[in-house]
Amino acid sequence: DTGVSQDPRHKITKRGQNVTFRCDPISEHNRLYWYRQTLGQGPEFLTYFQNEAQLEKSRLLSDRFSAERPKGSFSTLEIQRTEQGDSAMYLCASSLRTGEAFFGPGTRLTVL
């Protein structure tokens, strides 16, 4: 247990539905990251927050994806109008310093 928690751990949804994932970082960590990982591939960066400010967004983050970190604490990642290609493991990580990130267990999304 790294201290980063994610909820839910598994989500099955039908194509076209909206889903929201939550990440609770280590409490003193001001940096929070979202990654996506598909089978057999390494994680891919999606977005980065420093406190409540979203400072970086990957080109992978289409208009259907939105992330928030109100008050610089927990974060949510919402996917609207899910597609089968969104099926993946969604990983959250937090850190105090550049590079040394602590990852949560991930939320596995299956879109039917």
Partner 1 sequence: DAKTTQPNSMESNEEEPVHLPCNHSTISGTDYIHWYRQLPSQGPEYVIHGLTSNVNNRMASLAIAEDRKSSTLILHRATLRDAAVYYCILLLSGAGSYQLTFGKGTKLSVIP
Which residues bind to partner 1, rule: CB under 8 A?
Answer: 2, 4, 31, 33, 35, 40-45, 48, 55-56, 58, 91, 93, 98-106
Q: Report in angstroms how near the CB of residue 104 gets to partner 1 at its nearest.
A: 6
Query: Nearest Cα to 78, choosing from 88, 91, 68?
Result: 68
Q: Report in angstroms how near the CB of residue 15 gets to partner 1 at its nearest.
A: 25
Q: Report in angstroms how near the CB of residue 39 gets to partner 1 at its nearest.
A: 12
Query: Quick one: 56 or 78, whose CB is closer to partner 1?
Result: 56
Written as one string, the DSSP assignment of the chain is --S-EEE-SEEEE-TT--EEEEEE--TT--EEEEEEE-TTS--EEEEEEETTEEEEE-TT--TTEEEE-GGGS-EEEEESS--GGG-EEEEEEEESSSS--EE---EEEEE-
Query: Quick one: 10 or 81, whose CB is closer to partner 1?
Result: 10
Query: Quick one: 74 or 80, whose CB is closer to partner 1?
Result: 74
Q: Report in angstroms how near the CB of residue 62 gets to partner 1 at its nearest.
A: 17
